[in-house]
Amino acid sequence: MRILGIETSCDETSVALVENGRTILKERTHSQVMVHKEFDGVVPEIASRQHLVYILSVLEEVISPGQMTEVDAIAVTQGPGLIGSLLVGLGVAKALAYSFQKPLVPVNHIEAHLYAPHLFADIAFPYVGLVASGGHTLLFLVRGFHDYEVLGSTIDDAVGEAFDKLAKVLHLGYPGGPIIDKLAQQGDPDAFLEFGKRPQLLPDTERDRYNFSYSGLKTAFTYRIQHLDNVESKLPNICAAFQREAIDLLLRKSWNALEDHGISRFVISGGVSANSYLRKQVQAWQKKGIETFMAPLEYCGDNAAMVAGRAYHDALKGKYGDLRTDAYSRLGF
Ligand code: KG4
Ligand code: ZN
């Protein structure tokens, strides 16, 4: 089954053709990052207008009208995401479904992220899955593509959001995650400790055993930075210290979930799963007998292949949309 996937939930306009949820036949992504950089973050109205401007040329690069006979279904991100951006993708997907008489498969963006590592490996169930992105920090117990539960989530900011906010405070640019990651590689996380103790991030109480919290970390670092002079020379150490705290919390809560549920398989996804420190630490878990899975770097962030891939399993389940399907900025599971 060949599915044409469309992703426009945030600031990437992406279209992909994927076979049987596994083989990426073609994919094109137009990133708006250069446009939003100027504002230190994604500006929703600009994002939706950019999708409108680029989506048909991105689509054309992936498939011509004559090749639509080879497509079995049209998949599109339905939410969560920026509503104006989602509506552009959904509008195009519906127009394609209608004019070429193809079924429409609406896809949940979080489920699509969680699916990304499945594009590249056979991953058995059950596993503990972590989706860490700019908008979400969620820990799942996954028993099957349509059988999973949310174990925990952030009680305030998402982890990627915290990276982006710290980068803003430090005037490093947008998106903050990759910039902090790069600077941190030249830094010493302990060097920053002279300015205070390691903050105690969300302890493992019964209620918060699988939950995350990032607003306190951001505030603690912002406060410390305000009392520092010569910040420029300390950037690598600041980034290394912040990154270690942010990522160690992801690791600690994920480990709790693996241990409590007696599971030895761990899957990470979402933009933050591109973080080099996170990937290194997770890979090291293999020595402890944990099978670990992560997508290649270019599939950690938003892309249409994960949408088309996830849609294959939704289609097998008969989870189709229709011409009345709507988009939602908030969408549960
Ligand atoms: O999944 P994604 O592309 O979009 C959302 O659905 O949010 O994630 C984007 C987020 C941004 O906050 C970005 O700073 C973060 O992922 N990110 C990283 C890294 N690369 C991207 N965070 C930490 N380290 C990275 N290497
Ligand atoms: Zn995303």
163-190 pLDDT, tens digit each: 999 999 999 999 999 999 999 999 999 8
Residue 326 among known ligand-binding residues:
no
State percent of the chain over pLDDT 90.
92
Residue 193 has pLDDT above 80, yes or no: no
Note the pLDDT of residue 247: 98
Atom of ligand 1 nearest to the CA of 278: 24
- Angle of the 231-261 helix axis to the 159-169 helix axis, nearest 10: 170
Same domain, 193 and 270: yes
Residues 135 and 158 in one domain: yes
CATH for 259: 3.30.420.40
- What is the mean pLDDT of the segment spanning 270-275? 98
In a domain, 220, yes or no: yes
Cβ 27 under 6 angstroms from ligand 1: no
- In a domain, residue 13? The reply is yes
Name the residue with the closest Cα to ligand 1, atom 23.
177
Name 38's Cβ contacts closer than 8 Å, sequence gap at least 6. none
Share of residues in the chain with pLDDT > 70 (%): 98
| Domain of residue 284, residue span | 123-294
- This prediction has a pTM of 0.96
Ligand 1 pocket, mutate which of 82, 163, 170, 249 (most atoms under 8 A from CB): 163
- Known binding residue 164? Answer is yes
Q: Are residues 233 and 289 in the same domain?
A: yes
Q: Beta strand pairing status for 23-31 and 12-19?
A: antiparallel
325 domain residue, yes or no:
no
Index of the ligand 1 atom closest to the CA of residue 158? 12
Q: What pLDDT does residue 194 have?
A: 54
Domain identity same for 265 and 156: yes
CA distances from 36 to 39, 40, 260, 271 (A): 5, 6, 41, 17
pLDDT of residue 333: 85
H or E stretch covering 143: strand 137-144
Ligand 1 in contact with 271 (CB < 6 A)? yes
Helices (H) and strands (E) counted in the chain, each on its own, are: 10, 10
Q: Tens digits of per-residue pLDDT, 32-89? A: 999 999 998 999 999 999 999 999 999 999 999 999 999 999 999 999 999 999 999 9
Residue 6 domain-assigned? yes
Ligand 1 within 6 A of 275 CB?
yes
91 vs 16, 34, 53, 301, 327, CA distance in Å?
17, 25, 13, 23, 10
176 lines ligand 1 (CB under 6 A): yes
Is the pLDDT at 195 greater than 80, yes or no?
no
Helices (H), 123-275: 159-169, 176-184, 215-226, 231-261
Name the token pair of 260.
């409590």
Q: Is the CB of 7 under 6 A from ligand 1?
A: no
Count of structural domains, the chain: 2
